[in-house]
């Protein structure tokens, strides 16, 4: 088995981590909507809502 080696220092260097800013969160939303509109068509949101309603109804029936 391979033996993995780690840093020789006593303390590990923590990975850089941060939370999304509201601006970045909006960027993600805009990107996703842009891609969806181009790939699924301009009316994708309406169709998605219809599908979601159908899924929800199906879930309730079961």
Residues that bind other proteins (CB under 8 A): 1-6, 10-12, 14-22, 24-25, 27-29, 31-36, 38-40, 44, 48, 51-52, 55-56, 58-59, 62
The position carrying tokens 């923590």 is 14
> Interior CA angle at 25 toward 43 and 52, to 5°?
35
Task: State the minimum distance, in angstroms, from the CB of residue 54 to other proteins.
Answer: 9
Sign (positive or negative) of CA dihedral 34, 36, 41, 44: negative
Task: State the minimum distance, in angstroms, from the CB of residue 8 to other proteins.
Answer: 10
Task: State the minimum distance, in angstroms, from the CB of residue 11 to other proteins.
Answer: 7
């Amino acid at each position: 088995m391979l033996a993995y080696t780690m840093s020789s220092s006593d303390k590990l260097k923590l990975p850089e981590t941060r939370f999304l800013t509201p601006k970045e969160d909006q960027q993600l939303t805009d990107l996703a909507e842009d891609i969806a509109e181009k790939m699924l068509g301009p009316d994708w949101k309406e169709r998605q809502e219809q599908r979601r309603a159908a899924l929800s109804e199906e879930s309730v029936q079961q």
